[in-house]
Amino acid sequence: MSHHPEKHEDKHEHEGHHELGFIRKYVFSVDHKVIGIQYSITGLLFLFFGFSLMMIMRWQLAYPGEAVPIIGKWFENSTMMSGGIVSADLYNAFGAMHGTIMVFLGVVPLAVGGFGNYLVPLQVGAPDMAFPKLNAASYWSYFVGGVVMLYSFFLPGGPAQSGWTSYPPLSDIAGTGQTVWLIGMVFLITSSLLGSINIIVTIVQLRAKGLSFFRMPFLVWAQFVTSFLLVLAFPPLEAAAVFQLMDRIAGTSFFLPSGLVVSGMPLQVAGGGNPVLWQHLFWFLAHPEVYVLILPALGIVTEVIVNNTRKPLYGYKTMVYSVVFLGAMSFIVWAHHMFMTGMGTTMSNFFQTTTMIISIPSVILLSCLIITLWGGSIRYTLPMHFALAFLPMFAIGGLTGLPLGLATSDIYLHDTYYVIGHFHYVVAPGTLFALFAGIYYWYPKATGRMMNNVLGKLHFWISFLSINGIFMPMFIQGFAGVSRRLHTPTIYAHAEAVQSTNVFMSISAWVLGAAQLFFIINFFLSLKFGKKATDNPWDATTLEWATPTPPPHGNFTEEPVVHRGPYEYSVPGKAMDFIPQQVS
Amino acid sequence: MDTPSIYGWYLPPNYSAHGAIIDQLIVIMHVFMVALFVGWGLFFVYCLIRFRQRAGHKATHDLPHSKLPKFLEIAVVLFEAAVLVGLSYPAWSKLKTSFPNKADATNIRIVAQQFVWNVQYPGPDGVFGRTDPKSVSDSNPIGLDLNDPASKDDITTLNQLHFPVNKPVIAELSSKDVIHSFFIPVLRVKQDAIPGMKIPIWWEANHTGQFEIGCAQLCGNGHTTMKGYVSIDSPEDYKTWFDEQQKELNPPPAEPAAAPASQPTN
Amino acid sequence: MSDAVIHYIEEPHPVTGVTNSKLGVWLFIASEVMLFGALFSSYIVLRVGDATWPHGWTVLNIPLATLNTMILITSSVTMVMSWASLAMNRFDRFRLYMLVTILLGCAFMVVKGFEYAHKFEADHFPRTSNFYGVYFTMTGLHGLHVLGGILANLYFLTVGSKLWKTHPKMFMGRIEVAGLYWHFVDLVWIFLFPSIYLL
């Protein structure tokens, strides 16, 4: 993937010791930058694949029961798409896999694996991650997890169909796809654990001389907190996955209560289990997971916004404290996903209170970023477009979490499209836009070429409009009471009343899909024809810009020493409007 | 059967006593959210225009310190605390702990299964018959123990929920197989039905009419089709329906299983 | 600095006072604590929710498990001795203690195997009841951790020990890290034994 034109110059750096072959250098590499790019490319591919599943599902939602054009023809003889129509099984399978792929195979690998790997060592002034081989192992574990998940599509019964949340007993009694899903998850969990331990150790141990914790770029802080969330929150899901695997393979009843009757037949198990136990274990991971998705994005946006306003970050320390507090709090809000499980007053009061408390640091973070704009000299570069768009999108996503976090209003809104709208605003126009900002921003560093401005702006504006076209009507549907995960919502009168929004949303989704072509074309064409990038094309201050472009193996030509904070822009009395961290 | 005119691009009308506070909370929260968003948005857009890069304009390194953000932050905290303590805690607590008297209410059991809602009425004796998973059969979906004398007058219906208006209903929710979620939009009622658990809920309707029950929790490939019908009757209509059901049960041709399963009753 | 020279592999970081791998293993142990924490919590939830849950001592083999507890505790001691031998520059003694540690680990697994075999003969499988489900799952996962430890130690006894000649400090660091993990696995058993067998 790294066929950058500077390959030959790169080779010079390695003269004097043995030359690595292509395979060792680009496939089984232990260089954090290569691994970061591997993560990013794989993550982007999975994001596109996961979105494609949704584009097919959206056909069924817009035109229920009609054959899918083109794709329907290819599969019209299959059981799950007979006649080219999306069956309920296929709809559930795609729904479960869309969620799984977007979260565990798309966003996390790109945000933490990709950006974390590529940027953390560069920004802390380290030559590589603390454990380069472990780093490669974590990528390959992710890769295997991804292959396992893809393999499940070819099973006779199809992939997992019980939602990305895999609630038992449904998931316990589901087909083989669920077992494969669980096995895939174990690989993905292992990958995340190894990766995040590596990031934490790198940040704690390998910071350059002079780079104190409060001189670290905010992105490094965000990755640091994210990694702690992964290290501590993923193991309970691993425990839950083991329990569910035992239920499915060894016939245990951890999540199966006594006296179940499935399709008229008593289920032959010992019973005595508890289905809600899974939900506790799952959400104990999955709520911190939300912050795993959003914090690296927030870090990227901060870097881009500060660089493009040409002034220091407003409230750097406040933001750091907020993000640490946010991380800690995220471990005690999980049961706000479970208000409808027959929860008593004490529990619900506790969890709605912690949920309201956790909204405060989010409001602080957003406010700091917006206030940073004040008094700046805003450059409307390509990455800045995406970073600025992130702010209102994340605001909508965050604010709509409030009525869901209050148990009383959640009674009506729970499991409706309101929820879908809420978290998609956080992760799609939120996190994904931030990730695009990051790609446009660091692409020149990684490849030595700038991305094309015109294609980039087309990508931005079409994506921005169409993505809102998908998710904004979800709030209307949620108000109308349309439940999520319905294969044919139109059979309900209250859903039929808002069916026209479904058509609008689906068309928006297909436009969004098409708009990504601008990105794909831009990505590849710029590799060859993009304007050559200097070492520091954005006049930025942080350490990654002190390396040659693209950075060689080992990163820095000499060990960097840091003399100042991360965002010294427009310091009065200086000729340049920025002072890099390594300048004394 | 349907009354599509009541549904639109907003909350459907609320026909329950407790629903008003839920709607009120949703509206209050959205007013707050929109206010905050518009405030942020105006500031944001103003900054984007005023502080754009242009000839002769430079960024300012040090800004005069302002207390405004801190005040706004405190205002947000106070508002959220007020909503929690003033609205959400008491409303939730009233719904979950202050159940009406059983004697003054219509008591029912709702047993969810893939992909129907079974409803059990205790009959004139007011006592629910015993149920047992071992007795479950096609004609006896909830496994009513027919040897129990209390079972004799129990009405069980499939996807048909009748109850009188202006009288509380206490429903005990359970599930035979997987997790379902019992949802009646116009009544602002939603509760998961979880196998192994019996979860009581209650509501009081204040408007008659025919409405729909939906399943809000993914329960398998028939999740969409798990649709039930609610009939909120006037007391007279309810009595007529109830008596009719009793008549169907009681005329004693000894084969109750002869009733075809496709009928909503058995 | 054309090649990646990573600091604090051999020498501890002057501020944190630990090497990279030591910090790494502590983080790994933290995640393992969360894993077993979740397993123990689930065990409590399942047990509280089930009136028919038997007392461990009525159905499980206490003497055998006590023996296993002794074996693991002893192996922790020999693990420490193997590290201490390196500190005293006695590579031969290191190999001896490491070998004993590995053998004790294997002995634990063999005893565990007998225990499992007895259960299977008596027609007790994970599916029999949630008690057996928890018993097999938790001791089984712990067994996998023991197995992992044995394999790691085996590596350090054989191929991995070449490092002693070139980078003795680094090798000692590795043995210390392997020891930390081994003690952790031991500690998990110290919790498992009373909570599953004795309660």
Tell me the pLDDT of chain A (584 aa) as tens digits. 344 444 444 444 444 445 677 777 778 899 999 999 999 999 999 999 999 999 999 999 999 999 999 999 999 888 899 899 999 999 999 999 999 999 999 999 999 999 999 999 999 999 999 999 999 999 999 999 999 999 999 999 899 999 999 999 999 999 999 999 999 999 999 999 999 999 999 999 999 999 999 999 999 999 999 999 999 999 999 999 999 999 999 999 999 999 999 988 999 999 999 999 999 999 999 999 999 999 999 999 999 999 999 999 999 999 999 999 999 999 999 999 999 998 889 999 999 999 999 999 999 999 999 999 999 999 999 999 999 999 999 999 999 999 999 999 999 999 999 999 999 999 999 999 999 999 999 999 999 999 999 999 999 999 999 999 999 999 999 999 999 999 999 999 999 999 999 999 999 999 999 999 999 999 999 999 999 999 999 999 999 999 999 999 889 999 999 999 999 999 998 989 999 999 98
pLDDT at res. A19: 62
How many Cβ pairs within 8 Å bridge chains A and C? Answer: 151
Q: What percent of chain B has pLDDT over 90?
A: 74
Residues of A with CB below 8 A from B215's CB? 483
Out of C2, C42, C130, name the one closest to residue A13 (CB): C2
**Is residue A399 within 8 Å of residue B108, measured between CB atoms?**
no
Residues of B with CB below 8 A from A381's CB? none
Give CA–CA dist A234/A188, Å, rounded: 10
B69 versus A223: which is more confidently predicted? A223
DSSP B106-142: EEEEEEEETTEEEEEE-TTTT-PPPB-GGG-BTTBTT
**Is residue B155 within 8 Å of residue B245, measured between CB atoms?**
yes
pLDDT at res. A28: 86
Is the predicted pLDDT of residue C78 greater than 90, yes or no?
yes
Residues of A with CB below 8 A from C44's CB? none
The verdict on B179 touching A (C-beta cutoff 8 Å) is yes
Kindly give the pairing relationship between strand B116-121 and strand B155-158: antiparallel
Residues comprising chain A, all counted: 584
Give CA–CA dist A417/A484, Å, rounded: 5
DSSP A517-563: HHHHHHHHHHHHHSPBP-SSTT---SGGGGS-SS--TTS-SS--B--
The verdict on B17 touching A (C-beta cutoff 8 Å) is no
For the segment B91-133, what is each residue's pLDDT rounded down to a tens digit? 999 999 999 999 999 999 999 999 999 999 998 888 999 998 8
Give CA–CA dist A150/A142, Å, rounded: 12
For the segment C33-75, what is each residue's pLDDT rounded down to a tens digit? 999 999 999 999 999 999 899 999 999 999 999 999 999 999 9
Out of A130, A232, A558, name the one closest to residue C31 (CB): A232
Work out the burial of residue B152: count CB atoms within 10 Å of its CB; fewer than 13 is exposed, 13-18 middle, 19 or more buried: middle
Distance from CA of B24 to the nearest CA of A (A): 9
The verdict on B49 touching A (C-beta cutoff 8 Å) is no
Q: Which of residues 76-105 of B touch A (CB under 8 A)?
A: 76-77, 80-81, 83-84, 87-89, 91-93, 95-97
Out of B25, B77, B183, name the one closest to residue A483 (CB): B183
pLDDT at res. A102: 96
DSSP C68-91: HHHHHHHHHHHHHHHHHHHHTT-H
For the segment C87-143, what is each residue's pLDDT rounded down to a tens digit? 999 999 999 999 999 999 999 999 999 999 999 999 999 999 999 999 999 999 999
Probe site for chain A from B3, B26, B199, B229 (most A CB atoms < 10 A): B26
Give CA–CA dist C33/C177, Å, rounded: 16
Is the predicted pLDDT of residue B3 greater than 60, yes or no?
no
Residues of A with CB below 8 A from B37's CB? 392, 395-396, 399
- Chains contacting B (3+ CB pairs below 8 angstroms): A
Work out the burial of residue A325: count CB atoms within 10 Å of its CB; fewer than 13 is exposed, 13-18 middle, 19 or more buried: middle
The verdict on C20 touching A (C-beta cutoff 8 Å) is yes
**How many angstroms separate the first and last alpha carbons of chain B?**
22
For the segment A21-32, what is each residue's pLDDT rounded down to a tens digit? 777 777 889 999
The verdict on A71 touching B (C-beta cutoff 8 Å) is no
pLDDT at res. B152: 87
**Is residue A486 within 8 Å of residue A495, measured between CB atoms?**
yes
Span B72-85, mean pLDDT? 93
The verdict on C11 touching A (C-beta cutoff 8 Å) is no
Distance from CA of A400 to the nearest CA of B (A): 8
Give CA–CA dist A142/A139, Å, rounded: 5
Residues A438, A439, A442: CA angle, nearest 5 degrees: 80
Q: Which of residues 514-533 of A touch C (CB under 8 A)?
A: none
Is the predicted pLDDT of residue C77 greater than 80, yes or no?
yes
Distance from CA of B266 to the nearest CA of A (A): 16
Out of A17, A236, A270, name the one closest to residue C130 (CB): A270
Q: Which of residues 208-227 of B touch A (CB under 8 A)?
A: 212, 214-225, 227
Out of A231, A277, A556, name the one closest to residue C27 (CB): A231
Neighbouring-strand partners of residue B191:
B182
Residues of C with CB below 8 A from A557's CB? 1-2
Span B19-39, mean pLDDT? 96
A438: left (phi over 0), alpha (psi -120 to 50) or beta: alpha
Kindly give the pairing relationship between strand B228-233 and strand B160-164: parallel
Residues 6 or more apart whose Cβ sits within 8 Å of residue B159 = B116, B117, B213, B227, B228, B229, B264
Residues of A with CB below 8 A from C42's CB? 239-240, 243, 254, 277, 281
Residues 6 or more apart whose Cβ sits within 8 Å of residue B99 = B170, B200, B202
Distance from CA of B104 to the nearest CA of A (A): 23
Rounded to two decimals, the ipTM of the complex is 0.95
Distance from CA of A300 to the nearest CA of C (A): 25
pLDDT at res. B260: 44
Q: Which of residues 144-173 of A touch B (CB under 8 A)?
A: 161-163, 167-170, 173
Residues of A with CB below 8 A from C130's CB? 252-254, 270, 272-273
pLDDT at res. A25: 77
**Contact state of C130 with A559 under an 8 Å Cβ cutoff:** no
The verdict on A81 touching C (C-beta cutoff 8 Å) is no
Which residue reads 């709509």 in tokens? A400
Probe site for chain C from A17, A207, A232, A252 (most C CB atoms < 10 A): A252
pLDDT at res. B252: 55
**Is residue A124 within 8 Å of residue A202, measured between CB atoms?**
yes
Probe site for chain C from A128, A134, A254 (most C CB atoms < 10 A): A254
**Contact state of A492 with B176 under an 8 Å Cβ cutoff:** no
Residues of B with CB below 8 A from A363's CB? 73, 76
Q: Which of residues 274-333 of A touch B (CB under 8 A)?
A: 274-276, 309-312, 314
**Contact state of A170 with B219 under an 8 Å Cβ cutoff:** yes
Beta-strand ranges (E) seen in chain B are 106-113, 116-121, 155-158, 160-164, 168-175, 180-184, 189-193, 199-204, 209-215, 228-233
Q: Which of residues 374-413 of A touch B (CB under 8 A)?
A: 374-380, 388, 391-392, 395-396, 399-400, 402-403, 406-409, 411-413
**Contact state of B223 with A409 under an 8 Å Cβ cutoff:** no
Residues A170, A175, A180: CA angle, nearest 5 degrees: 105
**Contact state of A270 with C45 under an 8 Å Cβ cutoff:** no
Give CA–CA dist B229/A459, Å, rounded: 47
For the segment A463-475, what is each residue's pLDDT rounded down to a tens digit? 999 999 999 999 9
**Contact state of B84 with A352 under an 8 Å Cβ cutoff:** yes
